[in-house]
Every structure is written in C-alpha cells, then in structure tokens.
Chain A
Amino acid sequence: MTEESNYSGDSIQVLEGLEAVRKRPAMYIGSTSTQGLHHLVYEVIDNSIDESLAGYCDEILVNIHEDNSITVEDNGRGIPVEIIEKYQKSAAEVVMTILHAGGKFDDKGEGAYKVSGGLHGVGVSVVNALSSHLELEIRRAGKIYRQRYNKGVPEAPLEEYGSTIKRGTKITFWPDSAVFETVNFNFETLSQRFREMAFLNAGVRIKITDERSDKFYEFMYEGGIRSFVEYLNRAKSPLHPAPIYFHGKKENAEIEIAIQYNDGFDEKVFSFANNINTHEGGTHLSGFKAALTRTMNTYATANNLLKNVKIAISGDDLREGIAAVISIKIPDPQFEGQTKTKLGNSEIKGHVEALMNDQLAMFLEENPQVAKKILEKGIEAARAREAARKARDLTRRKGALEGLSLPGKLADCQEKDPALCEIYLVEGDSAGGSAKQGRDRRYQAILPLKGKILNVEKARFDKLLTSNEIKTLITAMGAGIGKDDFNIAKLRYHRIIIMTDADVDGSHIRTLLLTFFFRQMPEIIERGHLYIAQPPLYKVKRGKKELYLKDDDTLLDYLLDTGTEGVALEMDNGRKIVRGKQIIPMLRYIIDYNMHFDKIVNRGIPAQILSIFLRGKIRNGFADQPTLEPLVEQLRQIEPMARFDLMDDPDRIIVRLGNLHARIDRQTVEILSTHEYKLLTQAYRQVEDICADHPVVISVEGKQEQEVNNRQDLLDAILSRAKKGQYIQRYKGLGEMNPDQLWETTMNAEKRILLQVAIEDAVRADEIFTVLMGDQVEPRREFIEMNALNVVNLDV
C-alpha cells in the first residue's frame, strides 16, 4: 500500500438511495432495539478498522457523550473529498448518503480494500439515515473538511474550513429516537466488541470513553489473537505457557489461528471472518476441527501415545479445555445461517485444514512436551466420556438394580419396614459367616463384600470394589442410582452399618464404601442412615471377667489402670512417693518419650549416640558450621567414656564406646534440626529425672517388691504386673470372633457403639480418598492411620 490515491473519488461506486432505510430500518441493521442501536456504532468503526487493515490507521477513539450521541474518530487517511462526476457531489457525501457506497464495493479487485469488515455490508450511510443529526469531519491532505446532516440529508455541501497536519475521519451522530426503542448506549456491550476488534487486529489501539459515567477503557494487543486466547484463559490454568499460533495465506484467504489449552473442560472456540464473529461457525471452523482431530491422532499414533488406550480420541475429546480463535480474512465472505453468522465459502474449509495440518504437525514435532500434555488431556477426556457412557448404561438397567432380584450373597432380614431394618456391610466371607450367625435375623441383614486386591507393582497391593460388588450394593439398597432413578423413599434399610476389620485393609474397604455412598448416594448420609460399627480389637479375660477393648489406646488405658492398682513408687531415695493413679501420667510420659526416641533411631542414629545427644542437651546449629569439630568438643565433655575422633574427613565423626563403633555425619546432624527431634527433647525433659540418681522402689499394698534402675524397667514392671493373670487376645479380624462375641460386642443394639457418619466427615473422607487415589504414599499413610474418619460419637 504505497499510494494513498487509490482511495479516491473514482473508486466509489454507488448502488442505491437511502429512502428505504428509514422506512424499514430492521432490514438493514437487524432491529430497532438496543442491538440495532449498537449496530450503528459497529458500522462506523468498521470503516476505521478497514483503514487499519489496509495499514493506514492505528488508533480509534470512541466517545459516548452525555446526550447519548457518539463520536468515532480515527487516524486513517480520511474519506476522499473529490467530486464524483456521476453525482456532482463529494465522495464523502456519496459515502454518507448513498446505500452500499464505499471503497469496498469496487469489484475490479484493485480497489482500496482487498479485504474489509463489510460487517453487514450496508455502510455508514445507514447510520446517517437513522440519525437525527450527524457531523462529519475529515482531515486529509493538510486540510479540514466538514459537513452536517439531518436524518441523512446534508445541510450544505462538504466545506473546507481550515488546515491541519493531522489526518483521519471523525463522525459524531445522534441516533434518531423516533426510530429506536432506546437511544441509551451500553458501555460494556460496546467495550466487549471493541476489545474483540482490538484482538483481531493486532496493534490497533481502541479507546472508549463514557462521558456519562467517566468510564474508560483502552484496548491494544500486540499479540493479536494470541492475546485473545490468553484472555479467554485468564481465569484458568493454561496447560502450556505460550499459545500455539499459525498464520498463512491460501489463495485469497488470510488465515490466523491461535490455540491454548487450559486444565478445564469447556470448549471455547471463536471463529471470525473479516472481523465478524461467526457465531454459527461455518467452513473455517469445520476445517479447523477436522485438522485438529486428524493431526492430533496422527501424531499420537506415530508417537505410540495411544498404546494403552482402548477407545478412539474424538474431536470432542480433543477440544475439552481448548481456547482457540480462528480468524480469516477473505475478499468475498458469504454469510449464511439464521443470523447470517455462518461462513459459507466452501473453498475455505480446505484452505484452513491444509494450513493447520501442516503447521500443527510441525508444531507438535517441535514441541513434544506440549504435544504430550495436550494428548494426555484428550485421552483423559476420552476415558471420561467412556465412563459416563458406562454409567448411563448402568442407570438404565432398570429393574435389575431396584431390588427386584436381590443378590444371592445378601442375608436379608424378616422385617419389611425400612425404618426398622438394618444392614451390615461386612468385609470378607468369614466375617460375613460370623455375622450371619450372630445377627438378630428379625431386623438385621448382612451383605458380605470383598475388596478385590490388585497387584499394582512389586510389594504394593491396591484394594478396590469390583463392578459386581458395586452393583450388588446398589441392588441391596434398593433405591436405584443416578439422577432420575435414585429414590431415597425406596431405601430398604434405615441403618446401613459398615463393619470392617480394625486393620489397614479394613480401613481401605471402609474408605471405599464411604466414598461411594458420599458421591453416588449422598442423601443416605444426609439423612443419617450411614453408620460405622466398632468391633473390638482386644479381648481381655481375667478369671471369669471378660472385657472387650476397641483399640490399642483403650488397651493401654486398661493396662495402666490395672498395673498401678495398689502400687506406690518411692523415688529420690524415699523423698518422693507417688501412688496409684498418680503414677499413670509419669508412665505415659515414658511411653511418649519411647515413641519419639524410636522414630529418630529409625532415621539412622544409633540409640546410644542419641542418648548422648539428649543427655548433653545438644540442639541444632551444628549443621551450619563448616566442620563438625565443635560438636566433637561438646560430645567429649558429655561422655568421657567414649572416644570421638574426627578422621581425615571433617564431616565425619567416628565414635567408639564399648562395643559400639558408629559414625556421625552431616546427615545425622541434620536430624537435630527436625521437628521430630524437638518433640523428642520436649518428651525427654519430662522423663529425665526418673531413675536419674536413685533407683525407684516399687511396693504393692505397702510391701516392697522390686527396685528398678531405669525408666524402661519401671514401665515394664508395671505393664507385666498388669498382664499377670490376664489373657489378652488380639483379634486379627472379625472372622476370629465367634458369632456370639460379634453379637455381644458389635451388633447388639443395646450394647454396641455406632458412629454415625455426618456430611462434613464424608466431605473430609472424600478429600482423603482423593489423596489415597494419588501416587503420594506418605500423606496417604498418615491420613488413613491418623484421621481417616472423624465421626460423631453417638450411642445408639
């Protein structure tokens, strides 16, 4: 574009007059509602965008004035002002007054604009016709021209009234309130459209000011449609940092495509033809979709990414979480469809497809990591689609899941009123057998479930509920599954009690069941129908007295209680006497200390050395020193019996003490900075005085029985006293209990303790489950053992 003269009076063709426009405005601008009103602004700004497409304009100002008039001003070449012979009027006046007049209608193909917005093809004359007033100002070739119109009719010919060094066109118009239902412009509506235009025309600056409210926006995107997809992803996490971008020319079509995936599931693909948002898509969009599906699949197959995928990746799968913009610019767009926003040019599909096949394939080859991420997402989408299909099949198998045929494994109860019925979900067949015999068959049903074990990798076994178990469970509940079929009124039991072993496997099955109920039958939890049984872990028998204890903690409580009965401890050479229950806290401190001590020893410090550290109250700080020499100094003072040598290596201390030969290195010293070590030193403070200087004398019922010289012996003495004459049985599983015991401890409604599952607990359990499903093994262990489920305590 070197010659500005191309855009001159000669290239204007005149097609039609304006009379019809005021008679039937909707035919030209769609409607006379708000939409039609805003359409006026788009028509005007389109001319400015055309100038920028041609390379002559880089700034457009839009002002909404207080009286709802609008000024659009650009720094383009200015509308030509030469007199057109045919009309004996200035070119500008022709453009402003005759329908379909404008540079873009020169079909010689050599016209001012090869490509133009051609939004609706009606031109600015329509705006003029539908405005009560319009003021035109043109700065061109050093001069200023102006002209005023009323309802499209000029007051006078175009007049020259000054000189300027600037150039451009400025149009101010007052929409005719006799034509429009409303003349109130919406700032946000206009802004949204201008933002879009700024994206589609990289480098153009559009400023919009609302003088009614002093609102202001400025849009300018150097990145063009690349910035557009980044904007679409602004609230999402992108899968790859930079948008994928292609552009090129095929015959007359200029094609631009930008793609960026995010971690969501929405498909946001926007297509434009000559800056017009083709809401209904069309040939450019079809070409894009076909190329995306084909190229991605070709790449995936060639790179062996589909080897474990049994289902095909569809186009829909590949567009989950995509943000993409396709913008094409062509000389003669054909718009079809209900709202004339569907591109019809048939050759475009092939053009877009060819360009994208080439360039996307190249991109994927050059960016294998991005390719892998996108394809993994597509595969995930394909799996999800398959899962949803299976779920629909499951919910549609009417009858089979509604208790018409109850599963064979279910031992049902005699009672038919759900409010009175209970079902125990029991892990394993042997426990199921005990439960079946031990239950009260009038109102208690038993459903044995087995967790399938999956050997995932060496030395790791995963547990899952089989598809059959899930179906059995749904059938036994009788309430159906899925949005349309689940009916809580059909639930066959109002107490659903999960009864699993008190070990890790048991808690896995429990977690699986809880999660399933929470996700797929949440109403059961909401209505308080879900419970967890508490079978005992220990049976303690002393003479004829039998006692069931639910876990290690309660067993320890019991042992400490019985072990200190009638016991007195003489400490500090008889200066201090502790009796009976008062002894318990001291013993607990010892247990606590032992636990922390063992934890650190497990991390690789020999026990003797750890003891030296504790006695010397050695804290952290040595890890930061250049050598371990200061530590050696301190250790020698604490334990003169030992030899501490710093060998050639200043980071390694060799310790010899009696038979012990050990090494202290940097790693050992770093343990001193850990939280665990801090806890250990705190626990140590509580126990360091016990047996420190004098032995402790244990007497029972006033009779001296034993003298102990250290903490561990003290604890052992008390515990072995507690265990004397007792028979303690640890149940490895429910199956070890005979039916009577199971009834007595866990199923008898008069004695048992059930934990009722509340929604909040289930929410937490689900979060835990999500962690459990993941690969992080450590958090999993902690979760399941510490707080896999905090349930509300409820005596039933």
Chain B
Amino acid sequence: MEKIIKLSCPYCRTETQWQNNPSRPFCSERCRMIDLGRWDNEEYAVAGEKVREPADDPDETSFP
C-alpha cells in the first residue's frame, strides 16, 4: 500500500497530507492561491549569503 505522506501546509502550517488532497501540498485551495499570488508578487526570495567581515580582533592573538 502507498505510504501516506504527512506534511504541513506550506502557507498556514496546518497538518495535511499528500494523498487524496486536491490542493496538495496545501491544506486548501485558498492557501494554494495565496502562495501563487506571492510568487507572482515576487515575495519569495531565498536569503543570500551574508558576506563575512574578516575577523580582526587583535586582542585575540596578541598581547600588549
């Protein structure tokens, strides 16, 4: 038998499942549509690398 995949709705985090769910992976059509709107509205950005400042703490390795 097919394993039931449980997941949380990507929008509202309600517990839902993949199987027998026409709005999968969302819990509802509402959540799916909101998500689509957010893609269209360019609201999904993957946070980029934070450029690291070079560690310069002279106190760490030198002694006055």
Q: Is B22 a contact partner of A460 (Cβ separation < 8 A)?
A: no
Smallest beta-carbon distance A69→chain B, Å: 44
**Nearest chain A CB to B38 CB, angstrom units:** 5
In the bound complex, CA of A394 to CA of B35 (Å): 12
Q: How large is the interface on A (under 10, 10 to 19, 20 to 34, 35 or more residues)?
A: 35 or more
Shortest distance from the beta carbon of A711 to any chain B beta carbon, whole Å? 23
Q: Interface digits, A463-504 against B, CB 8 Å rule (1 contact, 0 not)?
A: 111110011000000000111000000000000000000001
In the bound complex, do residue A460 and residue B36 qualify as a contact, i.e. CB atoms below 8 Å apart? Answer: no
Q: Among A380-388, A546-554, A578-586, A589-597, which stretch is in contact with chain B?
A: A380-388
* Interface presence of A522 (CB below 8 A): yes
Q: Which residue of A lies closest to B7 (CB)?
A: A763
Report yes or no: B35 in contact with A519, Cβ–Cβ below 8 A.
Answer: yes
Shortest CB distance A533–B (Å): 19
Given known contacts A460-B49, A654-B63, is B44 in contact with A773 (CB within 8 Å)? yes
Nearest-Cβ distance from residue B12 to partner chain A, whole angstroms: 6
Per-residue interface assignment for chain A, residues 504 to 518, with 1 indicating a CB less than 8 Å from any chain B CB and 0 otherwise: 110010011001101
How many residue pairs bridge A and B at CB < 8 Å? 142
Q: Tell me if B40 and A519 are in contact (CB < 8 A).
A: no
Are the C-beta atoms of A522 and B24 separated by less than 8 Å? yes
Q: How far is the CB of A762 from chain B (nearest CB, A)?
A: 8
CA distance A511 to B46 in the complex (A): 8
CB of A156 closer than 8 Å to a CB of B? no
Tell me whether A713 is interfacial, beta carbon within 8 Å.
Answer: no
B39 touches A516 (CB 8 A): yes
> Judging by beta carbons under 8 Å apart, are A508 and B48 in contact?
yes
Contacts A520-B36, A759-B18 given; indicate if A463 touches B10 (C-beta within 8 A): no
A495 to chain B, nearest CB (A): 22
Residues of A within 8 A of B56 (CB): none
Residues of chain B within 8 A of A464, CB atoms compared: 42, 44-46
A465 touches B44 (CB 8 A): yes
A337 contacts which chain B residues (CB < 8 A)? none
Instruction: Decide if A661 touches B37 in the complex (CB within 8 Å).
Output: no
Bound-state Cα–Cα, A522 to B55, Å: 45
Residue of B32, B51, B63 touching A483 (CB-CB under 8 A): B32
Whether B41 and A467, one on each chain, are in contact in the complex, defined by CB atoms closer than 8 angstroms, is yes
Residue of B29, B40, B51, B60 contacting most chain A CB atoms (<10 Å)? B40
Task: Known contacts A391-B37, A483-B29, A763-B7; decide if A504 and B49 are in contact (CB<8 Å).
Answer: yes
CB within 8 Å of B: which A567-587 residues: none
CB neighbours of B7 from chain A (8 A): 763, 766
| Contact partners of A264 in chain B: CB under 8 A | 12
Cβ of A777: which chain B residues have Cβ within 8 Å of it?
47, 50
Contacts A460-B50, A461-B49, A661-B62 hold; do A470 and B34 have CB atoms under 8 A apart?
A: no
Closest to B53 in A: A459
Task: Judge if B20 is at the interface, Cβ distance under 8 Å.
Answer: no
> When A463-B48, A766-B10 are in contact, do A518 and B25 touch as well, CB less than 8 Å?
yes
Interface string of A262-281 (1 = CB under 8 A from B): 00110000000000000000
The listed residue with most B CB atoms (<10 A of its CB), out of A390, A395, A454, A504, is: A390
Q: Which of A391, A395, A604, A763 has the most CB of B within 10 A?
A: A391
* Residue A178 CB within 8 A of the other chain: no
Q: Are A456 and B45 in contact (CB under 8 A)?
A: yes
Residue A663 at the chain B interface, CB threshold 8 Å: yes
Number of interface residues of B (CB under 8 A): 40
Q: Smallest Cβ distance from A207 to chain B, in angstroms?
A: 36
- A465 and B39 in contact, given A391-B33, A604-B60, A773-B44 (Cβ under 8 angstroms): yes
User: Could you tell me which residues of chain A, from 238 to 292, have a CB within 8 Å of some CB in chain B?
Assistant: 264-265
Question: Quick check: A481 and B36 within 8 Å, CB to CB?
Answer: yes
Contact pattern, A 760-794, Cβ under 8 Å of B = 1, otherwise 0: 10010010011011110100110000000000000
User: Given contacts A265-B12, A388-B33, A520-B32, is CB(A454)–CB(B50) below 8 Å?
Assistant: no
A394 in contact with B42 (CB, 8 Å): no
Chain B residues within 8 Å of A154, by CB? none
Q: How many angstroms between the C-alpha atoms of A464 and B45 in the bound complex?
A: 4
Q: Does B5 contact A (CB under 8 A)?
A: yes
Are A482 and B36 interface neighbours, CB within 8 A? yes
Residue numbers in B under 8 Å from A780 (CB-CB): 47
Cα distance, A772 to B38, chains bound together (Å): 16
Assess whether A512 is in contact with B46, with CB atoms less than 8 Å apart.
Answer: yes
Give the residue name and chain of the B residue nearest to A511 (CB): B46
The CA-CA distance from A384 to B43 in the complex, in Å, is 11
Question: Which of chain B's residues have a CB closer than 8 A to the CB of A504?
Answer: 49
Q: Roughly how many angstroms separate A711 CA and B27 CA in the complex, as a whole number?
A: 56
Does residue A392 face the partner (Cβ distance < 8 Å to B)? yes
Closest approach, in angstroms, between the C-beta of B20 and any C-beta of chain A? Answer: 13
Interfacial chain B residues near A505, Cβ < 8 Å? 48
Report yes or no: A508 in contact with B32, Cβ–Cβ below 8 A. Answer: no
Residue of B nearest to A471 (CB): B40
- Complex Cα distance, B2 from A760, in Å, reads 13
B46 CB contacts on chain A under 8 angstroms: 462-464, 508, 511-512, 769, 772-773
Q: Quick one: which of B25, B43, B48, B51 has the most chain A CB within 10 A? A: B48
Complex-state Cα separation, A47 to B10, whole angstroms: 51
Report how far A210 CA is from B22 CA in the complex, Å. Answer: 43
Min C-beta distance of A27 to chain B, whole Å: 42
Minimum Cβ distance to chain B for residue A60 (Å): 38
Within the complex, what minimum Cβ distance (angstroms) separates A394 from chain B? 5
Across the interface, which residues of A come within 8 angstroms of B22, CB to CB? 483
**In the complex with contacts A456-B47, A463-B45, A390-B29 CB distance below 8 A:** no
A463 to B30, CA, bound (A): 26
Q: Which parts of A511-557 form the interface with B (CB within 8 Å)?
A: 511-512, 515-516, 518-520, 522
CA distance A662 to B60 in the complex (A): 7
| C-alpha spacing A387/B7, complex, angstroms | 23
Contact between A461 and B48, CB atoms less than 8 A apart? yes
CB B47 to nearest CB in A, in angstroms, measures 5
Q: Enumerate chain B residues within 8 angstroms of A656, measured Cβ to Cβ.
A: 63
Residues of A contacting B50 in the complex (Cβ-Cβ under 8 angstroms) = 459-460, 777
Task: Assess whether A519 is in contact with B63, with CB atoms less than 8 Å apart.
Answer: no
Contact present for B45 and A387 (CB under 8 Å): no
* A606 at the binding interface (Cβ < 8 Å): yes
Given A522-B25, A606-B60, A772-B46, 7 additional A-B pairs, CB 8 A? A394-B37, A395-B36, A462-B46, A463-B48, A467-B40, A483-B23, A759-B18
The 10 A-B pairs at the shortest CB distance, nearest first, are namely A387-B37, A661-B63, A391-B37, A462-B45, A391-B36, A464-B45, A461-B48, A390-B37, A459-B51, A508-B46
